[in-house]
Structure 1
Amino acid sequence: MTALATAPTARPRPARAWRAVMRLHRPALIFWGFFVSVVSAVLLWAYGPGGNAAAAAWQRPCTVDLCDVGYAVDIYHLAYRFCEALITFLPVLVAVWAGGLLIGRELENGTAELAWSQSVSPARWLATKLAVPAALLTAGTTLLVLLHRLLFDAHQVPKGWNWSDNGTFEANGPIAVAFPLLALALGALSGLIAGRALPGLIAGILATATASTLIGLAGPHLVPWKTSVGDLKEGYAAPSGVIYGREGAVTSTGAHIPDPCTGAGKACPAAHDIVGYYSEYHPSSQFWALQLTQTALILTVAALATAAAFTLLRRRTS
């Protein structure tokens, strides 16, 4: 009798965790691809044909009675500001998705517990949930920042943009890459704390808005200010096109004090021993110092939020 050799039954290989995340959140992946594609296309249009048309319109000679550059310059500026606004608004969208859909909904529906009961540990589940979108966000926002800088450096209409403008400063460097990662970490932590989609979504928005505001207020003070001093006739002597800080009066002893003579008469400075005025500012030469220090602060807060999320998850599942 011939023995039949039976091959060992092959165990099904579990799906890779990152593929499961991308499959589960396919709508978000599609939206992210659409978002990056649209913003990139608009920036490239403004860099190429839009910028060329705006430059030609700007250089068009004026007539005696009319100096109208047409709509080309307006559309060029609108495209730039539109992309800038989307880049700076991105952290809010990330916080909504991370707090409500990425974490909160799975805890509310019980799919997270189902995954933990199988071959995925809670720590690996959360690590994958954060690592996959973090990689995609970093790649996409880096591309958008590079295109934004390309357009900014090649600005063909010598009017209207400044490196220190709100939005322009953030979108022109690694700050724009770091803020979505902060929103992802804070949104995930909020979703874990709330355990439901809607409260996690709201908490993620509030946490991201609060952290962004505080970092924005603290950021300029992380780099030493430049100081300009003007006499009584010259007044405040800070140059244009800078990030402004504090300003006030200078006494005869060299002390810097709040200006007590705003709106007062000419006799006020002498009555308060004021001999000049000072202004604190950041020039364009400090752009990278400001960018890198604020980016380091943002990533530090994001790392702390991520550590808090893992600690909370470990305590809940131990």
Structure 2
Amino acid sequence: MTTLTREPAHATPAGHRNGQGPRQATPRLRGTAWLVWRQHRAAFWTVIGLTLVGVAVMVFLRGQMMDYLNAYDGSSPKSFSLPSDFETYSSDLTRVGGYLGFVPILAGVFLGAPLIAGDLESGTAKLVTSQSVSRLRWLTTKLALTAALIALSTAVLAVVYEWWWSPMKGRVGTQEWTSGAFFDVTNVMPVAYALLTFTVGAAAGLLLRRTLVSMVVTLGIVVAIEVVWDRFRLNLGHVLSVSSDQGVGPDARRPELPAQGVQQGQGTYFLTGSGDRLDWTTCLDQGDTDQTRTACLESKHVIGWSLDYLPVSQMHPMQWLGAGIMLTITAAVAAFIITWGRKRLL
């Protein structure tokens, strides 16, 4: 019998050789996404490595703090106050929060600014877009992949940091939640902040087309954003007031702020019987003695003090409002990058 009349042999699939089952496909980056990862893999792996180091440090420091708190609460009736020697652990928390505050600067200067400027300066953009990859696909892939990594890394750091801080919330003597070391690095804020500075840096690189110049300009813009944000951040909240009506003499009781409430404004106001408030400098020019000033205040029908404050319950709503503003600006800048890049990239 010739080979023409034999039953054709079936090729053995590669996944079934040597009795093996079908090979499972593993998810991999393909096409433009693979190219972007390959091109910026050093920066991306650095971000991942720093994130893991930051998480490890915070987990270790939280473990030390919890050992101290458990020993302190176990040796005495559980209290919402903290001893004076707790300052070391409190300082660690504030210091790490300050370090995390540099993440938006790093995201804008070292990830955003070189992202497009580097390709324009080296000619890589012209080479890539002259192939089958369109400008739109190239821009969106670079922005989306890098932004996803930034969002994931900052979200992980924010969650771990807030987990570290959570046992201290509500205890007397802890840090003010309105400070940047806490407000800007917890919840959704660090993600929105880092994405904003990243897109600003990418836009600067697209317009300036030089890596070093773009990094310097981005640094200046990010610092300006931080100054403006620090100035207007607390305006996102709704200020409440607490007052007393027991007089303003030396023995009169002043109003007390709720736990974790942060005083706002210029300080203490005087409250009159009609509900009006007078500046704390009222009657200071009426003499140097307490009796003279007290008589002046009584003539103005002052009955007590009034304080403005922000309660800790407004922290998360303020963060979401601030993050919404930042993400809106981020989306506008990203749209500008896509629109400008499609027409004037090369």
TM-score by length of 2: 0.73
1:152 maps to 2:136: no
Displacement of 1:27 in angstroms is 1.5
Q: 1:165-184, aligned counterparts within 5 Å?
A: 165-184=179-198
Aligned to 2:147: 134
C-alpha distance in structure 2 between counterparts of 1:204 and 1:154, whole Å: 37
Higher-Rg member (1/2): 2
Aligned to 1:261: 282
Q: 1:2-151, aligned counterparts within 5 Å?
A: 16-48=31-63, 50-55=64-69, 76-151=89-164
Displacement of 1:252 in angstroms is 5.5
Q: Quickly say closer, same or farther: Cα 1:230–1:206, change in 2 above 3 A.
A: farther
C-alpha distance in structure 2 between counterparts of 1:262 and 1:151, whole Å: 47
Q: Quickly say closer, same or farther: Cα 1:19–1:155, change in 2 above 3 A.
A: same
Give the 3-state SS of the residue equivalent to 2:52 in structure 1: helix
TM-score by length of 1: 0.79
**Is the Cα contact below 8 Å between 1:215 and 1:294 reproduced in 2?**
no
Equivalent in 188, 203, 210 of residue 224 of structure 2: 210
**Is the Cα contact below 8 Å between 1:145 and 1:173 reproduced in 2?**
yes
Aligned to 2:19: none
C-alpha distance in structure 1 between counterparts of 2:131 and 2:139, whole Å: 14
Give the 3-state SS of the residue equivalent to 2:102 in structure 1: helix
The Cα offsets for residues 17-59 of structure 1, whole Å up to 9 and x where unpaired, read as 12111111112112111111111001111232x2244347757
Aligned to 1:308: 336
The Cα offsets for residues 226-257 of structure 1, whole Å up to 9 and x where unpaired, read as 12234551567544632333244555654446
Aligned to 1:244: 263
Give the 3-state SS of the residue equivalent to 1:296 in structure 2: helix
Give the 3-state SS of the residue equivalent to 1:167 in structure 2: helix
C-alpha distance in structure 1 between counterparts of 2:197 and 2:92, whole Å: 25
Equivalent in 281, 284, 287 of residue 309 of structure 2: 281
Quick one: which amino acid aligns to residue 142 of structure 2? K
Quick one: which amino acid aligns to residue 51 of structure 1? M
C-alpha distance in structure 2 between counterparts of 1:207 and 1:274, whole Å: 48
Quick one: which amino acid aligns to residue 217 of structure 1? R
Displacement of 1:304 in angstroms is 1.8
Quick one: which amino acid aligns to residue 313 of structure 2? S
Q: What 5-or-longer segments of structure 2 have no aligned partner?
A: 1-28, 76-82, 288-292
- Select between 211-220 and 233-242 the one with higher mean Cα deviation: 233-242
Percent of matched pairs sharing the same residue: 25
Displacement of 1:317 in angstroms is 4.2
Displacement of 1:272 in angstroms is 6.8
Q: Quickly say closer, same or farther: Cα 1:190–1:56, change in 2 above 3 A.
A: same
Aligned to 1:8: none
Q: What 5-or-longer segments of structure 1 have no aligned partner?
A: 1-13, 62-68
Displacement of 1:212 in angstroms is 3.1
Quick one: which amino acid aligns to residue 123 of structure 2? G
C-alpha distance in structure 2 between counterparts of 1:257 and 1:312, whole Å: 54
The Cα offsets for residues 121-171 of structure 1, whole Å up to 9 and x where unpaired, read as 222222111111111111112111111122112349x65444334312222
Q: Quickly say closer, same or farther: Cα 1:15–1:142, change in 2 above 3 A.
A: closer
Aligned to 1:225: 239
**Is the Cα contact below 8 Å between 2:178 and 2:234 reproduced in 1?**
no
